Every structure is written in C-alpha cells, then in structure tokens.
Amino acid sequence: MRCPYCHVDNDRVLDTRAAEGGYMVRRKRICSSCHRRFSTLEKLEQLNVRVVKSDQTREPLDREKIRRGVERACSKRPIQSSKIEQVVQSIEAEIYESFDSEVTAAQIGDIVLRHLADLDEVAYIRFASVYREFDDANDFIRAISKIVGPKSNEKG
C-alpha cells in the first residue's frame, strides 16, 4: 500500500476491523517513511454477476448504476447520503447472496423498490414511476396504495 502523503510503499498495519457488514475491512496504517497515519478500506471482491436486460443482452452488475438510480429517486428528499450508501450496500449484498451468475434487470428493480419502500415513500414512487413506466395517474394511484394501504390498515 502506498502512503497517500509521501507515496512510499512501506507501511505497517496498526489495527484491522470488519466494516460495512463484513464485506469490507478497515485498516489503520502508519507509513514507515514519513510516520503519518492513514486508513484503508478494502472491499471483498465479488464474483461477477451479470445482468440480463429486457432485450436479453448481458452486462456486468454495475453498483454505480444502482447508486445513481437510488440517488435520483431520493433527490431533494431529507435522506442522508450515508443512509443512501447503506441502502445501496444492502441491495448489492442481496443480489450477490440471492443470485450466483445472472440476475434480470426486473429482479434488480424489484429489490431496489423493496428497499426504497422502507427508506422513503416519495423515493419509492419516483423510482417505480420510471422503472414500471407509469402511463397515467391510475398507475401512480395503484403504486401509492401499495405503500399507503398497509400503513392505513395498521392505524385503523
């Protein structure tokens, strides 16, 4: 590991801890040359899961696409970026745990929707309107009733 300050490749690990639900390792290090401390975050390399798109083409799972979709849905909502990161990590972890080599784009969309429903109702509706290609107001009403219906039954 190269020191981010002096760029010398000679450091010592001071502490190692599991991070982000066991999928990452955080290491505290000290440079043997300049004696400055820094931390690294090592991510477990996952096997490549391929996404089967609606036209049957395949591409590697792209975490950043998931992040962009979630961020767009959460735009201008009072949601901390750390919470968005946790949701993206949960979605990614669920995909890797549930699928060995291929997952359809529709299955990913359903997983994202499930996580957004727990995070924020407006973000859920925004994502659903794009993902499910809403055509009219009735599509919105049906989607809203899916997330509001169970909650209103609990109160009454």
pLDDT in tens, 86-135: 999 999 989 988 998 999 999 999 999 999 999 999 998 899 888 777 88
* pLDDT number for residue 130: 85
Domain boundaries, the chain: 11-43, 50-150
Q: Which residues contact 144 (CB under 8 A, 6 or more apart)?
A: 125
The first and second tokens of residue 114, run together, are 């499930």
Q: How confident is the model at residue 46 (pLDDT cuts 50, 70, 90)?
A: low
* pLDDT number for residue 141: 86
Average pLDDT over residues 57-82: 94
Residue 8 CA from chain centroid, whole number: 33
Higher confidence at residue 155 or residue 60? 60
* pLDDT number for residue 21: 65
Identify the top-confidence range among 70-79, 91-100, 119-128, 142-151.
70-79
* pLDDT number for residue 132: 78
